[in-house]
Chains A and B, each alone.
Chain A
Amino acid sequence: KQEVTQIPAALSVPEGENLVLNCSFTDSAIYNLQWFRQDPGKGLTSLLLIQSSQREQTSGRLNASLDKSSGRSTLYIAASQPGDSATYLCAVSGSYQLTFGKGTKLSVIP
């Protein structure tokens, strides 16, 4: 059974700092990995999708990497802003299955 772990559970940083969120998964037989943002009371917003054959994806200040063999992904956020405050979730797609981590709650302090 796939298990997805996100570390840390919560993170608080001053505005402007670069930061890294971590996601690990136990079964490397995945189709893709996704990073999402979740604001309180809102649905998920897709940030980045990395196919199993890819090693990284970039969108603006966000960069996500994938090391399938070691079961790890990182989400790098450059020059953090207060508007980046949210919960960040990673999810891995396997055969007929989508498994989410519990998320990292990020607070960016002005």
Chain B
Amino acid sequence: GAVVSQHPSRVICKSGTSVKIECRSLDFQATTMFWYRQFPKKSLMLMATSNEGSKATYEQGVEKDKFLINHASLTLSTLTVTSAHPEDSSFYICSAPRGDAEAFFGQGTRLTVV
């Protein structure tokens, strides 16, 4: 079946540094990918929609300059958390829909900013 690979699965970084998270669709092309964030004990929330070859669409309240999204190819989208702060510590997960059918999820990335 279709697989979406997300890397890294866990990352610890120092406050002020930037972290890049990759999301790859391994056996299908994804013109759209979604990035989500889940804070502890909270619901998973959509952050942004990544569109291949164009700018990402951000949900209300999500800072586009802080969460840089690049969807440079049909199989790769990246989320860069810039100048990370402890409050950015969260679980980030991507998904890629295959056509209008099911969406496949990455394994998720646990980010801890110290």
Q: A residues engaging B (CB < 8 A)?
A: 31-32, 34, 36, 38, 40-41, 43-46, 49, 51, 87, 91, 93, 96-98, 100, 102-103
Contacts and interface: CB of A to CB of B under 8 A. Distances in A.
B36 interface: yes
A44 B36 CA distance: 9
Contacts of A98: 38, 44, 91, 93, 105, 108
Contacts of B102: 87, 102-103
Interface in B23-49: 32, 34, 36, 38, 40-46, 49
Contacts of B65: none
B41 A31 contact: yes
Nearest to B109: A96
Contacts of A46: 43-45
Interface of B: 9-10, 32, 34, 36, 38, 40-46, 49, 91, 93, 95, 97, 100-103, 105, 108, 110
Contacts of B95: 43-44
Nearest to A52: B41
Contacts of A45: 46
Nearest to B100: A40
Contacts of A103: 102
Nearest to A32: B41
B108 A97 contact: yes
22 contacts: A31-B41, A34-B43, A36-B44, A41-B32, A43-B34, A43-B46, A43-B49, A43-B95, A44-B44, A44-B46, A44-B103, A46-B45, A49-B42, A91-B44, A96-B10, A96-B108, A96-B110, A98-B44, A98-B91, A98-B105, A100-B105, A103-B102
